[in-house]
Amino acid sequence: MRHKNSTDVTKRATDMIQRRILFDRRIIMLTGEIDEDSSRDIIESLMALDCLKKAPIMMRINSIGGHIDQGLAIIDTINMLRSPVHTAICGEACSMATLVALYGKKRLMTQNSAWMGHEMSRWGYDYYSKEKYRFKHEEEVWLEMRKMYEAKTKLTKKDMKLIDHGELWLTAQQCLEKGIIDRIGG
């Protein structure tokens, strides 16, 4: 049986205190990969804060993106709340995190942050009969995600072509000009 190192215990206690301080200030962090665990934590925190008080919630984003379904679940939760959720990109928003950031009531980005959208990617190697139905579903999901970008931004057809077939990297100033954020600042 492995005993916990006092450094591990101290780090865990510090993390809990930091999370509590942020929670009390109605700040949620979306960092790292969007996966089942991070999505669950964010959704539960959003719902808890909304139940406590109908007041703005700040979601700070520094994320490489991640799972599409988990990101869409975060967006659906933001849309269901009565409390407005403001988003602030602090570092980078890539892939699925770009869409989450678009759904803030107020959308901010720090001066030295980066934004990167790219085509949808998923992995799957299975029987052709299964894959063709999955591909059809994923194509429909991607078309919906494109509509989300188009509805929430001023991205051009050229920008969307880069997203469809590669990567579109933007600075904070470019994001402001393209309607991805409302202002630069934190």
- Compute CA 92 distance to the chain's CA centroid, rounded to the nearest angstrom: 10
Residues ≥6 apart with Cβ < 8 Å to 99: 71, 72, 75, 145, 148, 149
3-state secondary structure of 117: strand
Rounded Cα gap, residues 65 and 143, in angstroms: 18
Query: Hey, which residues are catalytic here?
Result: 95, 118
Residues ≥6 apart with Cβ < 8 Å to 69: none
The H-assigned helical ranges of the chain are 6-24, 36-52, 68-80, 96-102, 128-152, 157-164, 172-177
Rounded Cα gap, residues 101 and 109, in angstroms: 9
Residues ≥6 apart with Cβ < 8 Å to 185: 108, 110, 111
